[in-house]
Every structure is written in structure tokens, then in C-alpha cells.
């Protein structure tokens, strides 16, 4: 599972990690905690990442939160739809750790 893999990988780069199992829990967390970066999977149990991204931005207590979309397919149109939904970057799954680290490092506040 992607979430489990991220829980082991991200702390190795010096970041704290907080996970949510679904969109509802993610919305609850952005209202309580300040996040620098959110890795947002397109396929959540209760919603699509593109639908959730604008809600996360609207309800977040963080003014500078970045959202990186994770999806199984990225072409030019799909990428643009993620960016139009309010994401800052898009990564195609399966995720290569080198690419994720490069993007996180590039975008981090």
C-alpha cells in the first residue's frame, strides 16, 4: 500500500509524516494541523483527489501548503486537470522514490 510505503520513506528525508485513510479524515486534519506538503492520491475510498484538493486548500490552516497529486496515469490533459484542481505537481504511480524526493525538495517551503 502506498500510504505504508510513504510512512517508511518520507521520515528518512527528515520530514514528519501524518496520514489519512480517506478524504474526510484528510479534511479533518488540515483544519487542525499545519502541513507543508500533502501527497494526495487520486483514488481515495470516498472521493477523488482532484475533487478533494480544492476543499483541502479552502479548509487548511496553512497558507503555504503544497499538494502533490499521485495517479496511475499522467498525460498532458490529465496533468492539466490536476493542476487546474489546485495541485502544485503530479507524479505518476508507481512512484519512484528518486522522482518524489526531487519534487518534494524542489517544492518544499
DSSP 49-85: HHHHHHHHHHH-S-SS-EEEEEES---HHHHHHHHHT
Give the pLDDT mean for 10-31: 92
Q: For the segment 39-96, what is each residue's pLDDT rounded down to a tens digit?
A: 999 999 999 999 999 999 999 998 889 999 999 988 989 999 999 999 999 999 998 9
pLDDT of residue 109: 60
Question: For the whole model, what pTM was predicted?
Answer: 0.90
**Residue 36 per-residue DSSP state:** S
In contact, 38 and 56? CB cutoff 8 Å: yes
Amino acid at each position: 500500500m502506498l500510504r505504508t510505503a510513504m510512512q517508511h520513506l518520507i521520515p528518512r528525508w527528515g520530514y514528519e509524516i501524518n496520514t489519512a485513510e480517506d478524504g474526510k479524515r484528510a479534511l479533518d486534519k488540515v483544519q487542525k494541523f499545519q502541513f507543508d506538503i500533502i501527497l494526495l492520491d487520486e483514488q481515495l475510498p470516498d472521493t477523488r483527489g482532484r475533487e478533494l484538493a480544492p476543499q483541502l486548500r479552502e479548509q487548511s490552516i496553512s497558507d503555504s501548503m503544497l499538494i502533490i497529486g499521485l495517479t496511475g496515469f499522467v498525460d498532458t490533459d490529465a496533468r492539466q486537470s490536476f493542476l487546474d484542481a489546485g495541485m502544485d505537481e503530479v507524479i505518476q504511480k508507481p512512484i519512484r522514490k528518486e522522482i518524489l524526493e526531487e519534487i518534494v525538495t524542489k517544492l518544499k517551503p
